[in-house]
Amino acid sequence: MIKKALKGSLAAAAGIALGLGASGVALAQDGQEPPVASGEVSTSPGIGLHGTVNGGTENVNANMISLELGEGNSRVVYCIQINVNLINGNTHEERAWDDVPVEQLPLVLGVLLNGYNGGNADELIAEAGVEGEDFESFNSEQIAYAGTQAAVWSLTDNWDIKTDDPTSAGDGVDNAVLGIQEYLLANSEPVEEPDMEPYFETDDSEAVVDGSTYGPFTVSTNLGGVNFQQPEGATIVDENGEAVTKFTDGQTFYVEFAEEKSSSVSFVTESVSWVTPVGRVFVPVDGDSNTLEGQNLILGESHEEEIAAELQFEITIEETPEESTTPAAQPQLPQTGTNLTMVAGIGAAVLAAGVVALVLMRRRAATAGGDWGGDGDAK
């Protein structure tokens, strides 16, 4: 069977901003500034660290810091200014990297992606080869946090940990914290600022029409997933022909229509999820969101939050005239799609949405017997 190329798009507009927790979910309308993520800072005891800055003694406490989001939700954060006081209990709001006076953030993010994230203390300790050390009265979380914080400060403030006496504890804690810091600095590469604008796109560069099957399409998104109900008259399937009900980053999918003819179907999502990326920076603010003098913090823990959302997708297949027998230059295939606008208040259960169109069009071949997709059996 001759397979004809098809061109389509499935695009969600930027301008959607999601908070860090369920109580902070917020989505922006077109033409409005998106809201920023925020939370209150709290601390718990950590480990004292010994070091120097520019040759002068700089002993600091690696207290474990969290960004509290309410309803029991919290995220691990780290200090990125060693000589600036932390405003404990104060609200901190997200800022872009360009808006904070801290250098080396790409290197810091590289460390954080390998460092302690709130749930991997034992794994990090093992990877650093310090699992056999005596931690005294400290737990593995405090050890892992202190080693990660030490690595961060060495990048942001040129802080040098004292290798002969790195902590206020005994030799086992010294060896563990120093070992984790050295491991992270030796095994981390710089990573650019994470994309804060939600996006959902598909790559249809290899898509073809084969009877009533259309695809493949490859999803590219920083949403954790888009859950949907199967449409009437068609089935969304994976590369193995199995029905799927969720779009995720890197996923390949096809559309199988019930009949090989012009058709239009629509389906509605049940929820979307947003992954809060490691590397977001937070600054202390007053009640009017004005930045205060105080410690800037960087998020060390990613988090995925599922949000109830009704988004309508429409898929249309359009018949075109028979293939031309007159040779001609290959036409430019049109890009199609509409912006998606999502509106929600804090804690809303259901989000109103605009329509996202996925238009798959049978196109006329440009040359005699033209076959843009080839005659192979693969989809």
Q: Quick check: is 374 in a domain?
A: no
Q: What is the reported pLDDT for 266?
A: 73
Q: What is the reported pLDDT for 319?
A: 52
- What does the DSSP assignment read for 52-71? EETTEE--EEEEEEEEEEET
Q: How confident is the model over 149-158, as a mean pLDDT?
A: 97
Confidence of residue 252 (pLDDT cuts 50, 70, 90): very high
Chain position carrying tokens 């927790």: 21
Q: Quick check: is 234 in a domain?
A: yes
Least confident residue range of 3-12, 44-53, 164-173, 352-361? 352-361
Please indicate whether residue 68 or residue 21 has the higher confidence score (pLDDT): 68
Confidence of residue 72 (pLDDT cuts 50, 70, 90): confident
Q: Quick check: is 294 in a domain?
A: no
Q: What is the reported pLDDT for 313?
A: 64
Confidence of residue 132 (pLDDT cuts 50, 70, 90): very high
Q: What is the reported pLDDT for 307?
A: 75
Q: Quick check: is 289 in a domain?
A: no
Q: How confident is the model over 139-160, as a mean pLDDT?
A: 98
Claim to verify: residue 306 and residue 207 sit in the same structural domain:
yes
Claim to verify: residue 156 and residue 250 sit in the same structural domain:
no
Claim to verify: residue 215 and residue 355 sit in the same structural domain:
yes
Please indicate whether residue 277 or residue 124 has the higher confidence score (pLDDT): 124
Claim to verify: residue 83 and residue 231 sit in the same structural domain:
no
Least confident residue range of 15-29, 62-76, 103-117? 15-29
pLDDT per residue over 284-294, tens digit each? 999 999 999 99
Whether pLDDT at 331 is above 60: no
Structural domain ending residue among the three candidates 155, 186, 217: 186
Confidence of residue 248 (pLDDT cuts 50, 70, 90): very high
Claim to verify: residue 50 and residue 152 sit in the same structural domain:
yes
Which residues, listed in sequence order, are joined to residue 251 by a DSSP beta bridge? none
Least confident residue range of 83-92, 225-234, 256-265, 320-329? 320-329
Q: How confident is the model over 216-233, as a mean pLDDT?
A: 85
Confidence of residue 243 (pLDDT cuts 50, 70, 90): very high
Count: domains in the chain:
2
Whether pLDDT at 64 is above 50: yes
Q: What's the domain range around 109? A: 37-186
Q: 366: burial class by Cβ within 10 Å (0-12, 13-18, 19+)?
A: middle
Claim to verify: residue 128 and residue 181 sit in the same structural domain:
yes
Q: Give CA–CA dist 322/362, Å, rounded.
A: 10
Structural domain ending residue among the three candidates 152, 186, 220: 186
Claim to verify: residue 352 and residue 207 sit in the same structural domain:
yes
Least confident residue range of 54-58, 166-170, 318-322, 365-369? 365-369
Chain position carrying tokens 């509409």: 338
Claim to verify: residue 358 and residue 223 sit in the same structural domain:
yes
Claim to verify: residue 155 and residue 235 sit in the same structural domain:
no
Least confident residue range of 65-79, 268-282, 293-307? 268-282
Confidence of residue 369 (pLDDT cuts 50, 70, 90): very low
Q: Give CA–CA dist 132/296, Å, rounded.
A: 34
Q: Quick check: is 180 in a domain?
A: yes
**Residue-averaged pLDDT of the chain:** 75
Confidence of residue 305 (pLDDT cuts 50, 70, 90): confident
Confidence of residue 332 (pLDDT cuts 50, 70, 90): very low
Whether pLDDT at 67 is above 60: yes
Whether pLDDT at 270 is above 70: yes
Whether pLDDT at 4 is above 70: no
Claim to verify: residue 253 and residue 158 sit in the same structural domain:
no
Whether pLDDT at 20 is above 60: no
In 113-147, which positions are buried (b, 16+ CB within 10 angstroms) versus exposed (e)?
Answer: bbbbbbebbeebbebbebeebebeebebbbbbbbb
Claim to verify: residue 220 and residue 94 sit in the same structural domain:
no
Alpha helix stretches (DSSP H) within the chain = 105-114, 121-127, 140-156, 171-186
Q: What is the reported pLDDT for 318?
A: 53
Claim to verify: residue 43 and residue 144 sit in the same structural domain:
yes
pLDDT per residue over 34-62, tens digit each? 446 788 999 999 999 999 998 899 999 99
Q: What is the reported pLDDT for 340?
A: 26
Q: Quick check: is 287 in a domain?
A: no
Of 84, 77, 54, 88, nearest to 149 (Cα)?
77
Using CA atoms, how far residue 220 sits from 79, 136, 186, 198, 288, in Å, is 32, 47, 31, 11, 36
Whether pLDDT at 212 is above 50: yes
Q: Quick check: is 369 in a domain?
A: no
Please indicate whether residue 339 or residue 159 has the higher confidence score (pLDDT): 159
Whether pLDDT at 80 is above 50: yes
Q: Quick check: is 223 in a domain?
A: yes
